[in-house]
Amino acid sequence: MRSVAVVVQPGFAPFEFGLACEAFGLDRSDDGIPNFDFRIVSPEPGAVSSNMGFSINVERGLDAAEDVDILVLAPIPRAQWGAVDQRVLELVRRVHARGAWLLSVCSGSFVLAASGVLDGRRATTHWRYADTMSRMYPEIDVDPDVLYVQSDNIITSAGTAAGLDACLHLLRQELGAELTNRIARRMVVAPQRDGGQAQFIASPLPVDTSLSLAPVTEWMLQNLHDDLPVERLAARAHMSPRTFARRFKSDFGATPAAWLARQRLLHAQRLLEETDLGLDRIAAECGFGSAAVLRQNFARTMGLTPTAYRARFSCAQEPAASREPIPA
């Protein structure tokens, strides 16, 4: 059984806090999903007020999070960004030092930033706060255009619902794609969303809203094994490459190349879990060309090699093995 602790502080956001409870706190053993030892902690146990005018009773202090495998930082109010509780910062540093997971939801990333564990790393937060984080912590590479970022064993998420995307991403690495898909189905959410925060930032709508790229993306999914340059995709959409790339980014929040790379990795995950195909064959089926290219892309995104992923998740019905260190 893995252990998870969520740190809540005065002024916490109930919805984002609830995402962590939903992802890690429910008993889903009847669906073949291992339970987590789930804990809610606070610097001052007792009544902790939310930003919605009600309080929750937190029975455990920060000492209950010292040995957890996953530490989740719930959002904190703007007034606390420059004055985070030192006891929480010290906990974050100790948890990070022993190699456990750190996950922040929305403005919870400011807690990680204040602790120093994000220095020199890429991270994200709600797009409305990205500029503020960049100014406060110039040593952090803040990416405002993604739903979440994983840097080794630290995951930062964008605003609100993106926290659920980050939780599912972590669960996918701990439990595998099949069990995570079951969790997502019970939540009635997509197991993985494409695109990034850019699609939620207020911007003018495209002039021509009658065109749809859905047929093109469906064709892309059916031909992942093939070479799919923008010029070829644009021709199928009857657009110029420049217009196609602009429209694709507007509709999906990602470039055609980034979207395609993600779909290829998802297909590789499925083949690694559900088949005994060799890496060369999987690379060809997914359009990576060679096993070496597959390994490079898979390890960079997933944090472990295809072989290690298969060893951990090829039998999806069994509990996940103990987590191995994630290579830098």
Could you report the per-residue pLDDT of 311-328, keeping only the tens digit for each? 877 754 443 333 333 333
| pLDDT of amino acid 145 | 82
Rounded CA separation 144/313 (Å): 32
| pLDDT of amino acid 253 | 73
Please give the CATH number for the structural domain made up of 204-328: 1.10.10.60
Residue with tokens 């797009």: 127
By the 8 A CB rule, do 147 and 193 touch? yes
- Which is more confident, 202 or 245? 245
Report CA-CA distances (Å) from 251 to 61, 116, 195, 215: 45, 36, 9, 13
- Pull the structure tokens for residue 62: 């920060």
Q: How many CA atoms lie within 13 A of 229 on its CB side?
A: 5
CB atoms within 10 A of CB 83: 9
Per-residue pLDDT of 218-235, as tens digits, reads 899 999 999 999 999 999
Per-residue pLDDT of 136-194, as tens digits, reads 999 999 998 888 999 999 999 998 889 999 999 999 888 888 888 889 888 888 766 66
Per-residue pLDDT of 18-77, as tens digits, reads 999 999 999 999 999 999 999 999 999 999 999 999 999 999 999 999 999 999 999 999
What SS3 class is residue 133? Answer: helix
Rounded CA separation 70/37 (Å): 10
Q: What is the pTM of this model?
A: 0.67
Q: What average pLDDT does the segment 69-95 reach?
A: 96
How many Å separate Cα 66 from the centre of its chain?
Answer: 23
Q: What average pLDDT does the segment 89-97 reach?
A: 98
φ, ψ for residue 41, nearest 5 deg: -130, 160
What SS3 class is residue 141? Answer: strand
Give every CB contact of residue 120 below 8 A, 6+ residues apart in sequence: 139, 140
Per the CATH hierarchy, to which homologous superfamily does domain 2-187 belong? Class I glutamine amidotransferase (GATase) domain (3.40.50.880)
Among candidates 105, 217, 240, which has minimal Cα distance to 161?
A: 105
Sorted by where each begins, the domain ranges of the chain are 2-187, 204-328
Among candidates 74, 105, 91, which has minimal Cα distance to 6?
A: 74
CB atoms within 10 A of CB 147: 24
| pLDDT of amino acid 250 | 81
| pLDDT of amino acid 83 | 94
What SS3 class is residue 70? Answer: strand
- Residue type, position 89, single letter: L
